[in-house]
Amino acid sequence: MSENFLTIVNLSKWYGNGNIHVLDNINLDVFRGEFVSLLGPSGCGKTTLLRIIAGLEKQDKGEVRLKGEQIVGPGQDRVMVFQDYALFPWRTVLGNILFGLEVRKIKKEEALKIAQNYIKLVNLEGFENSYPHELSGGMKQRVALARALVCDPEILLMDEPLAALDAQTRNMMQSELVRIWSATKKTIIYVTHSIEEAVYLSDRVIIFTPRPAKVKKIVKVDIPRPRDRFSREFVELRAKIYEQLH
């Protein structure tokens, strides 16, 4: 674990001409290869924080640095998975997944091979040529996930990427995510509403206050992986975070 990977310093953000205070002096370090979950009440500012890290939104105070360099806009080192998927409706499932590879100028044959791997991973075989409007919510979410994963960025910013899935698929995708994460040593910042999910996935869980979001508590998850959702330590940690949130 190296220092100075992603550093958030005194970050503040207001919307609506300064009327809506969203982020209040956030300070946070994320280490290289770390899996961090952001947990907080709805509307507190998690998406906003993720968008600032992605470079899609400007902060009003403070800064975000990646490897010492200030983030001023989007970059190929960070990819975000949107809460509402934002799949390109004019592209098929395969076309959506190929997008990141096309703009990275990866050769067509190789790109197809990579895309096919991820299509298999997210269980969308047979739907390569479907358009987004022909998919269910959960399938769209899996396309969005695959579309981000193929880009192979240093940091993955995920905004509730599994929220629309049924419990069984979600559990399966969670283990896949842990597998991909440990195999590729990506840094993942992951927004979720599910305490169980946060505990299952992360190295650390960052708990935010209601808007304006402040870091309320950081909980380290020291349970070895693969984690057993029904083990005593898992259940105890869940309860502890639950108390922090309420």
Ligand X SMILES: Nc1ncnc2c1ncn2[C@@H]1O[C@H](COP(=O)(O)OP(=O)(O)OP(=O)(O)O)[C@@H](O)[C@H]1O
Residues at the interface with ligand X (CB under 6 A): 15-16, 20, 22, 40, 42-48, 83, 211
Contact between 48 and Mg ion per CB under 5 A? no
CB closer to other proteins, 38 vs 97: 97
Contact between 37 and Mg ion per CB under 5 A? no
Choosing among other proteins, ligand X, Mg ion, none, which partner's interface includes residue 161 (Cβ < 5 to 8 Å by kind)? Answer: none
Integer CA distances (angstroms), 150 to 1, 32, 104, 112, 232, in order? 24, 19, 11, 11, 36
Residue 164: CB minimum distance to other proteins, A: 16
Choosing among ligand X, other proteins, Mg ion, none, which partner's interface includes residue 88 (Cβ < 5 to 8 Å by kind)? Answer: other proteins
DSSP string, 36-91: EEEE--TTSSHHHHHHHHHTSS--SEEEEEETTEEP-S--TTEEEE-TT----TTS
Choosing among ligand X, other proteins, Mg ion, none, which partner's interface includes residue 100 (Cβ < 5 to 8 Å by kind)? Answer: other proteins
Integer CA distances (angstroms), 173 to 38, 140, 235, in order? 18, 14, 21
Residue 81: CB minimum distance to other proteins, A: 9
Contact between 96 and Mg ion per CB under 5 A? no
Report the candidate in 151, 149, 154 with the shortest Cα–Cα distance to residue 2.
Answer: 154
Contact 205, 233 (CB under 8 A): no
Pairing status of strand 69-70 against strand 78-81: unpaired
Residue 40: CB minimum distance to ligand X, A: 6
Report the candidate in 82, 56, 192, 234 with the shortest Cα–Cα distance to residue 145.
Answer: 82
Contact between 187 and Mg ion per CB under 5 A? no
Choosing among ligand X, other proteins, Mg ion, none, which partner's interface includes residue 62 (Cβ < 5 to 8 Å by kind)? Answer: none
Exactly one of 24, 26, 39, 47 binds Mg ion (CB under 5 A); that residue is 47
Residue 231: CB minimum distance to ligand X, A: 28
Contacts for 126 with CB less than 8 Å, ≥ 6 apart: none
Q: Which of residues 74-93 bind Mg ion (CB under 5 A)?
A: 83
